[in-house]
Amino acid sequence: MPMTAAMAQHLGNLIQDLNPYAELTSNTKDRKTGEMDIYFGNPTPSHPPSGTMEQIQIEVDGRYAGEWNFKGHPQKVNKAIRIKYRVPVTNSAGVVLYWVDEYMLIGYEGANCG
């Protein structure tokens, strides 16, 4: 069953809300990070982010035969996806000073059946 637009929006919002590196206030120099920008193919980052799905840079390992420990328990991961994103660092006036590159790693559990 394909994901609905509403479900995709909710998943994206959840990922953004749980990102530990976005929307942080620095203890020094009155700086803060903004929201994630996943559109790396967009040659000029925008604030707020904008772009198309084709501009998202990903790496896929479809034959991933590893385990990740989650809360002290091994979890079999059969497919891993690494998504590059960036967050702006702004001053107190909201002016973007520079961008920081980060990665999000998603692991799909299961028997990979189908």
Tens-place pLDDT, residues 30-67: 888 888 889 888 877 877 788 888 999 999 998 877 88
Q: Is the pLDDT of residue 71 over 90?
A: yes
Write down the pTM of the prediction. Answer: 0.80
Question: Which residue intervals of the chain are DSSP H helices?
Answer: 5-18
- The answer to whether the beta carbons of residues 22 and 87 sit under 8 Å apart is yes
